[in-house]
Homo-oligomer: A and B are copies of this chain.
């Protein structure tokens, strides 16, 4: 039994993490924190939780005194880094579900999030996309769990980056997400009456912070001089994320070659499913660690369309975090995720 703790357990990603870990045979929950609800039991705050109803929520300060093997951070940007610093110094392993450890370069982080509280860890932190950085994750002390949009996009597009087919290409990403992606915070755009019966593009081009993450990994896996334009959209769902990715590839590449590339890249992967006869719908991936991929090619014009679907709280956040934990703590990869 490994000991784990969660900082920020009552937001959407924290709650989902609790649900997944409750089914995991190899871990014990040592603490769960909540600034707002410290002192209450998990059962009082999240009555629908299937386990750990009697665990009393504590403060992060109290948590820091308990011994654990690994800590999940479900905190706002900057807060994560502050607590990561404390737990890493005590020798704990850390998975941050926020953005503080997703960038390798301080400069990149600063462009999107401002000053970093503990930049010394950035170099050694690992970007936690298991299908692409499995061995690094196994050795990591600190993992930056990918954002929901980048997860959906990168799984679809990295094989093509690696093949060199996206060099000098314009890459257009049109993504659609359910409202839980924006968190539990109250805002006009998450009011039911505003979000329902509505589709809303937001932060188009190079405005959304996930743009930097996508670019970092595209470069890391070999894409050169590409030009990314990204537009997320809110659609009236609680959960689910669908991304459509458009790019021109070199002339003469057939749909079959593209599909073969995807199939061979993900052949051994348990959680990435390449579809051939239908397109991925966001619903397919709900409440799971699965990603679904498919594609279309217009051979006369070299136009490639990649379709990707995940659950923004599943493979796009908490389930992928548990996948990373399994790697870091040497559990069989699929433990608790099927």
Contact = CB atoms under 8 A, between A and B. Distances in A.
A101 to B, nearest CB: 26
Given A48-B288, A51-B338, A296 B199 contact: no
A123 interface: no
A227 B298 CA distance: 10
Nearest to A239: B197
A240 interface: yes
A105 interface: no
Interface string A298-314: 10010101010100000
Given A198-B237, A199-B235, A305-B231, A279 B193 contact: no
A331 interface: no
Interface string A188-203: 1011111111111110
Interface in A21-63: 22-23, 47-48, 50-51
A167 interface: no
Interface in A214-272: 227, 229, 231, 233, 235-240, 242, 244, 246, 248
Interface string A103-134: 00000000000000000000000000000000
Given A201-B244, A205-B296, A237-B197, A229 B282 contact: no
A209 interface: no
A290 interface: yes
Nearest to A303: B229
Given A186-B186, A204-B305, A235-B235, A197 B240 contact: yes
A22 B23 CA distance: 13
A170 interface: yes
A172 interface: yes
A273 B283 CA distance: 29
A136 interface: no
Number of copies: 4
B197 A47 contact: no
19 contacts: A47-B284, A48-B283, A50-B288, A170-B301, A172-B172, A174-B244, A178-B193, A179-B196, A184-B188, A192-B195, A193-B238, A197-B238, A198-B282, A199-B309, A201-B307, A229-B303, A231-B296, A233-B244, A246-B246
Interface of A: 12, 22-23, 47-48, 50-51, 170, 172, 174, 176, 178-180, 184, 186-188, 190-202, 204-206, 227, 229, 231, 233, 235-240, 242, 244, 246, 248, 273, 275, 278-288, 290, 292, 296-298, 301, 303, 305, 307, 309, 338
Given A48-B285, A205-B296, 19 more contacts: A12-B193, A48-B290, A170-B170, A170-B301, A184-B193, A191-B191, A192-B196, A192-B236, A196-B238, A197-B239, A198-B281, A198-B282, A201-B242, A202-B279, A204-B307, A205-B303, A229-B301, A231-B296, A235-B235
